[in-house]
Structure 1
Amino acid sequence: MSLMAVEDRAPQPGARAQLADLVRDRKAALDLSYEKLAARCVDPETGVQTVKSSWLHRLATDMPVQAPDLPALRGMAAGLDVPLGRVQDAAGAQFFGIDVVWSASGDARALVERADRMTPEQREQLMRLLDSLAPPR
């Protein structure tokens, strides 16, 4: 399992908490304990549980934790029942100060994620519709 080590520094005042917020929100929405949530955090590529309940608790209560690696993020996406990109964006913002701005509402990202599941013909139709509604500059 990954994410067992804990950094020696305390969270800084005004520190980012995007991943922590996501974990708190999804834990509440799914009505799960930290133990049950951790048990769901299984990397779909390896079949291995990637985080422990203690790590999730420390993260959600703003205690110092080690930044998650990609298998942990994949496991968290599965456990939280959200797209991997959402977990990656939250972790990047919280641990590395990387802010991904798709749009103020978040709708642009949702459109991109859906477009990736479309056939080339469907994407072409969507582009024609978008051009008719909001012509390119």
Structure 2
Amino acid sequence: MLMIDETPPPTDSSEERTDLADLVRDRTAELGISVRALAAACIDAKEPEAGPLWTRSTLGNLLAGERVKPPRIPELRALAAGLRVPLHRVQDAAAAQFFGMDSVYSRDRKVRATVPGFNDLSPEDQRKVLELVERFQRG
């Protein structure tokens, strides 16, 4: 009989990633804006009538390493707008921070694969994944 262990693996806080928080911290510094100004600018262009989708307190908690809920697509679009970066940068950072997923791109950046723990793979295994992405891109 096959048994499936549904107990989540223990999480070691030293392994928690901060990719999205780092992106927010770096971009606010580069843009010279406050967290309050960023929150006000986080408006999803597809649903502007909803207003800002990030609060100053949620962004502050993210930056402080406090627990926040993983953002949904509209929130990611809004954060990308506020940070003035392409959506894929925010998606990649969120996937890494909240799910431990690393994005891998084809050379022409037309194909993206999200791979759990890609950065922890050996250089040979990373090369194999990159070859698969390139092969997929060629069709």
The TM-score bracket by the shorter chain reads 0.5 to 0.7
Provide the residue aligned with 2:68 in structure 1.
65
Q: Secondary structure at the match of 1:63?
A: coil
Output the TM-score relative to the length of structure 1: 0.66
Q: Root-mean-square deviation (CA), in Å?
A: 2.0
Deviations 1:18-40 (A, max 9, x none): 10100000010111111101000
Tell me which amino acid in the other structure corresponds to 1:102.
Answer: Y
- Give the total of aligned pairs: 99
Deviations 1:25-73 (A, max 9, x none): 0010111111101000000000121100111111112111111111100
Percent identical: 47
Bigger strand share: 2
What is the rounded CA distance, in whole Å, between the counterparts of 2:67 and 2:30 in structure 1?
Answer: 24
Does residue 77 (structure 1) correspond to residue 80 (structure 2)? The answer is yes
Bigger relative contact order, structure 1 or 2, given CA contacts below 8 A and separation 6+?
A: 1
Cα distance, 1:108 vs structure 2: 4.7
Does residue 32 (structure 1) correspond to residue 38 (structure 2)? The answer is no
Spell out structure 1 runs of 4+ moving beyond 4 A: none
Does residue 42 (structure 1) correspond to residue 48 (structure 2)? The answer is no
Deviations 1:81-106 (A, max 9, x none): 00001100110111011111227xxx
Tell me which amino acid in the other structure corresponds to 2:39.
Answer: A
Output the TM-score relative to the length of structure 2: 0.65
